[in-house]
Structure 1
Amino acid sequence: MGLKVGDKIPFFSLPDTFGNTFSIEDIIGKKNLVIFFYPKDNSPGCTAEACSFRDHYEDFLEKGAAVIGISADSAKSHAKFSKRNRLPFVLLSDENNKVRKLFKVKNNMFLLPGRETYVIDKEGKVAMVFNSVNASGHMKRALKALLKL
């Protein structure tokens, strides 16, 4: 099982789209957070999921939340994916699946990296977890959970 509601998220640092080091410690205590783990840049489901977060990005900002996407793709791949789809949020490169393992995100039944979304409150505690191989629904559930914070 992955992290559960009420668990504190682990601290981590990963390279972002531009190769800079992003540290979660810079956000905890300041903003609510949405982290979505996805299998692969440019696949149809992952593109749809990322674009749904893009299309509602202003709604997340209005709720005081940062949005972060994480996959095992390289920073270079993320840069292309982000530019192609005009993604306004941070994508992090977890090439060794270090953070995926910290969050205990399991592979799905097809052995692809799992698709899991977390809403985290300002204190760094998990407020919502949604695990579904289906890309639709992740954004809506995350936005709904933010309304309760």
Structure 2
Amino acid sequence: MVDVSRLPDDLTPPTDDGGAAHLEGTRLPAKPLPATDGTQIDLSRLPGRLVLYVYPMTGRPDAALPEGWNAFPGARGCTPQSCSFRDHHAELQALGVAQVFGLSTQTPEEQREAAERLHLPYPLLSDAAGDLRRALDLPFFEIDGGLYLKRMAMVITEGRIDKVFYPVFPPDRNAADVAAWLSAGR
């Protein structure tokens, strides 16, 4: 069994490769994505302020991680990142966030399992087809035959990206970092 809820002590932090430098100020494209609640969500059409956190893949305790996962900087930590947004959900709402979403290239079925297991109070969105990744030129990596989005978080207001947190490390502090930015009155 893999303990996906804990981060190993020897993880190498990711470096800023500039892969998200173009995103702040960008308007989201109209790209409906399947959500774990069974709906299609078009982030470009949602009113108010949103938080979208992006993660490579939520691991399962009963399945092995891809070969080399822990050695790739920034790959490990999706469950702690998701749990941090779960644990800070009420605080983010109190700071004016209308909705929180998680995004990965996993299928809606894989994400549904994670959302239920982790008791997430918000939907996860699937970009398994790569439509949003290509439209926004989101940074990604390939490992063990799979394509994964690099970890980041975005604050989006009325369909426009206001702030990008990239790279994210450690992932379990991502939600607190977003909350701190919002608390500063931004």
After TM superposition, list the pairs within 5 Å mapping 1:1-149 onto structure 2: 1-2=19-20, 3-27=22-46, 30-42=47-59, 45-65=77-97, 66-108=99-141, 112-121=148-157, 123-132=158-167, 134=169, 135-147=171-183, 148-149=185-186
Structure whose CA Rg is larger: 2
One-letter amino acid matched to 1:12: K
1:24: how far off? Answer: 1.8
TM (norm. structure 1) is: 0.85
Structure 1 residue runs of 4 or more that deviate by more than 6 Å after TM superposition: none
Could you tell me how far apart the structure 1 residues matched to 2:142 and 2:114 are? 25
Aligned length: 146
Provide the secondary structure at the position in 2 that maps to 1:83: helix
Larger helix share, 1 or 2: 1
Unmatched 5+ stretches in structure 1: none
**RMSD of the TM alignment (CA)?**
2.2
One-letter amino acid matched to 1:42: G
Could you tell me how far apart the structure 2 residues matched to 1:71 and 1:6 are? 22
Provide the secondary structure at the position in 1 that maps to 2:24: coil
TM (norm. structure 2) is: 0.69
1:14: how far off? Answer: 0.5
Unmatched 5+ stretches in structure 2: 1-18, 61-75
Could you tell me how far apart the structure 2 residues matched to 1:7 and 1:61 are? 23
One-letter amino acid matched to 1:61: Q
One-letter amino acid matched to 1:146: L
